[in-house]
Amino acid sequence: MSRDPNELVAAVRERLEKLQAAAAHEGIGFIITYTMRTDAEQHALFAQGRKGLNEVNRLRTDAGLAPIKQSENRIVTKLLTSVHQFGCAFDIAIVKDGKPDWADTASFEKLGKLGEAIGLRWGGRFKFRDLCHFEYTGGLTIAQLEKGERPAA
């Protein structure tokens, strides 16, 4: 599981940096919780809530992820292939009093609008809302990303 912004495609990393500056200007703190994701990590996350705990934890262990408890075995992604796998997405957590705050929807909403203003696609607009997710593909499809194309700056 990577949190390294340097693993993002340059066009995405540039937008992340702009979002960080805009958030700081608004007094909103956040940390990066996910950047680049391996195929194995994506498949393990996709299995959650769809397969039994033993199978999920086998996949998670094989992918280098920590095992989860039964209460955590719920659907966390709708996609078997994600733009995270191509360095075109990042996830964040709002930080309040030095700790991640996943319940601060007002700050996520504000960051979502800031991200959209700089060209990012925000997961808060997805049918399966993902408030912490931001991506930029420059209009490229998954099929194009799989062929090695990447968004230009």
pLDDT at residue 139 above 90?
yes
- The structural domain count of the chain equals 1
Q: Give the domain extent around 30.
A: 5-37+82-146
Domain contains 29: yes
pLDDT per residue as tens digits for the range 66-99: 999 999 999 999 899 999 999 999 999 999 999 9
Domain contains 58: no
Domain contains 49: no
CATH number at residue 12: 3.30.1380.10
Domain contains 22: yes
Query: HEC string of the chain?
Result: CCCCHHHCCHHHHHHHHHHHHHHHHHCCEEEEEECCCCHHHHHHHHHCCCCCHHHHHHHHHHCCCCCCCHHHCCCCCCCCCCHHHHCCEEEEEEEECCEEECCCHHHHHHHHHHHHHCCCEEHHHCCCCCCCEEECCCCCCHHHHHCCCCCCC
What is the value of pTM for the model shown?
0.92
pLDDT at residue 153 above 80?
no
Domain contains 151: no
Domain contains 9: yes
